[in-house]
Structures are given as structure tokens and as C-alpha cells.
């Protein structure tokens, strides 16, 4: 089976009602990113940060995968599919994708501030990280999110996966945030790269031979998946 590696960003979840980061007026869900998504924000006002991510978590319960997520799962009948997502939502999993790597963390998890390997699922009934929820080392548990200015621990693993791709697909990301955007440089020469995003023709940070599909995820992913499934069936 050929291996497809898919890099997704906020745009794939836009039609599920989750706002992207850079499409609006610089505010994200009415917050300034610096006030809620940086280590400094946590230092200055961890309660605000907790509230913000608890709100996002509750929003997630009302969000459902759209055709973008759903069509990707269909590829698994004829390809080995690895998704690398920059999104912290769980919509790829909800859709039924088998292999999802979350580069920027996961809303449904919390972790210790002092031991980054101490990571827990957030209790489903509580559905929040509470003030006073302490790790075994006596510190407040924090969201399992990679904030601005923090290292991306899974980037090397992601780069290795991209190197193995026979086909690389990028969906709904502005390709503005590194190191995630740099993953495209790990694609082996000659491997087809597709880029599905309404602004696909405006983004400079993709290689010259990238096939650009300037559509919303629900339309563009459905089209490309059908095309790739046809190819796989004809090859058999
Ligand atoms: P951005 O907000 O930067 O980009 C969203 C992209 O989605 C844009 O290119 C839009 O054109 C596209 N888009 C909008 N609606 C779409 C739709 N219906 N279908 C497909 N695409 C659509 O979000 P990201 O590139 O994901 O990091 O941002 C990367 C990272 O920056 C995020 O993971 C986050 C943020 O800071 C962290 O939280 C660490």
C-alpha cells in the first residue's frame, strides 16, 4: 500500500464551527493570542488561561467532523494514511482516522508543568482543568498544548513520517507557523504534493510543483480523495 501523509491545520475544522487563527481580525475567539497561548500568559494569569482552554474544550463537545475529516478516513481502504495535525481538537479521531499525530497538543489532555511526560486525559464528566488540580509534584496541571515560544516535541517524529510519504497532502493551514510549515521540506523529491485551502494560490510557503486546490476542505478533500481512490483501484 502506498503511504499518504496529510498535514492539517485550523482550516479543516473551520466548517465544523471552530475558528481559525489568522482569518479574523487578529483576535482568536475574542482573546489576544499573547494573553492565553504563551508561557508568559500562564505565568501572569493562569486562571484566565485555564478558563480559555476550558471554554475551547466545552465548544469541542458541540463540534462534529465535516466532509474534510470524513473523506480522509475513506482513503484508508486503499492507502496507509498518517495524519499530522496542528489542531488541538479531536475531530480527526471523531471522524474515525486511525493514525493521528497532534503536533501542537490536545485539548482533551492535561499535563504537569514540571514533568512534561506526565500527561493525563481530562476526566470526561468534569470536562475541565480545575484550579487546584495538582500534579504529583504539587504544581497546577496545565493544558497539554504547545504554546507560542515553546518547543514542538513531536516535530522530529513528524519529519520522519513525512520522509516516508508517497503522496503528501496539506489541508487548511496558512503554512505560516514553523516548525510545522517546514515539514514540506522533508517530502522526498518527486513525491506529489497537494495543497487544499481556499487561499491555496496566495500562499508562498509551498514548493513550486505543489498542486494547489483552492477550495474549502469539504469540497477539495472530497474531490482529491475520490481521485486518489480511483487511481488506487485502477492500479490494482
Ligand atoms: P491559520 O489560521 O494560520 O490558517 C488557517 C487556514 O485555513 C488559512 O490558510 C485559511 O485560508 C484556511 N481555511 C479557512 N477556511 C477553510 C476551509 N473551510 N477549508 C480549508 N481551509 C480553510 O491556522 P493554522 O495554519 O492551522 O498553533 O495555524 C498554525 C498554528 O498557528 C496553529 O496550530 C496554532 C496557531 O498559532 C498553536 O496553537 C501552537
What is the model's pLDDT at position 131?
Answer: 97
Active-site entry in 69, 92, 104, 144: 104
Per-residue pLDDT, averaged over 29-55, amounts to 92
The per-residue pLDDT of the chain, averaged, comes to 95
Q: Determine if the pTM surpasses 0.85.
A: yes
**Whose CA is closest to atom 23 on ligand 1?**
10
* Distance from the alpha carbon of residue 10 to the mean position of ligand 1, in angstroms: 4
Cell of 116: 512534561
Integer Cα distance of 131 and 114 in angstroms:
16
- Above 70 in pLDDT, residue 190? yes
112-123 pLDDT, tens digit each:
999 999 999 999
- Kindly report the CA angle at 75 between 69 and 76, in degrees rounded to 5? 105
Phi, psi of 216 (to 5 degrees): -65, 160
Give yes or no for residue 104 CB within 6 A of ligand 1.
Answer: yes
Q: What is the pLDDT of residue 25?
A: 58
Write down the pLDDT at residue 26: 57
Rounded to an integer, what distance in angstroms lies between the CA atom of residue 91 and that of residue 88? 9
Residues 56/206, Cβ–Cβ less than 8 Å: no
* SS3 category, 118: coil
CA of 25 to the centre of ligand 1 (A): 14
Q: Comparing C-alpha atoms, which of 16, 46, 21 is closest to residue 31?
A: 21
Sketch out the chain's domains with CATH numbers: 1-18+65-104+150-236 (3.40.50.1220), 22-62+108-145 (3.30.1600.10)
State if residue 146 touches ligand 1 by the CB under 6 angstroms criterion. Answer: yes
Tell whether omega for the bond before 157 is within 30 degrees of 0, i.e. cis.
Answer: no
| Ligand 1 binding pocket includes 134 (Cβ within 6 Å) | no
Q: How far is the CA of 74 from the centre of ligand 1 (A)?
A: 23
Condensed to tens digits (0 to 9), the pLDDT of residues 137-182 reads: 999 999 999 999 999 999 999 999 999 999 999 999 999 999 999 9
For range 219-232, the mean pLDDT: 98
* CB distance 11 to ligand 1 below 6 Å: yes
CB atoms within 10 A of CB 118: 15
Output the residue whose Cα is nearest ligand 1's atom 14.
11
Q: Can 104 be counted among the known catalytic residues?
A: yes
pLDDT value of residue 28: 72
Neighbours of 13 (CB within 10 A): 26
User: 170 C-alpha vs ligand 1 centroid, how far in Å?
Assistant: 11
Q: Residue range 227-235: average pLDDT?
A: 95
Amino acid at each position: 500500500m502506498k503511504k499518504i501523509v496529510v498535514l492539517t491545520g485550523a482550516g479543516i475544522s473551520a466548517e465544523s464551527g471552530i475558528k481559525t487563527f489568522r482569518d479574523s481580525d487578529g483576535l482568536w475567539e475574542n482573546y489576544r493570542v499573547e494573553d492565553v497561548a504563551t508561557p508568559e500568559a500562564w505565568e501572569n494569569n493562569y486562571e484566565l488561561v485555564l478558563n480559555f482552554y476550558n471554554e475551547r474544550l466545552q465548544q469541542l463537545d458541540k463540534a462534529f467532523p465535516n466532509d474534510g475529516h470524513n473523506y480522509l478516513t475513506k482513503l484508508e481502504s486503499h492507502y496507509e494514511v498518517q495524519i499530522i495535525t496542528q489542531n488541538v481538537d479531536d475531530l480527526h479521531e471523531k471522524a474515525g482516522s486511525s493514525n493521528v499525530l497532534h503536533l501542537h497538543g490536545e485539548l482533551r489532555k492535561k499535563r504537569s508543568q514540571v514533568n512534561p511526560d506526565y500527561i493525563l486525559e481530562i476526566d470526561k464528566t468534569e470536562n475541565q482543568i480545575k484550579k487546584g488540580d495538582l500534579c504529583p509534584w504539587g504544581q497546577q496541571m496545565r493544558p497539554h498544548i504547545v504554546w507560542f515560544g515553546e518547543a514542538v516535541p513531536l516535530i522530529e517524529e513528524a519529519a520522519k513520517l513525512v520522509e516516508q510519504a508517497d503522496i503528501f497532502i496539506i489541508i487548511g493551514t496558512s503554512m505560516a507557523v514553523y516548525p510545522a510549515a517546514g515539514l514540506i521540506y522533508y517530502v522526498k523529491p518527486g513525491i506529489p504534493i497537494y495543497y487544499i485551502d481556499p487561499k491555496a494560490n496566495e500562499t508562498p510557503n509551498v514548493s513550486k510543483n505543489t498542486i494547489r486546490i483552492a477550495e474549502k476542505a469539504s469540497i477539495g478533500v472530497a474531490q482529491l480523495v475520490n481521485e486518489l481512490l480511483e487511481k488506487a483501484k485502477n492500479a490494482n
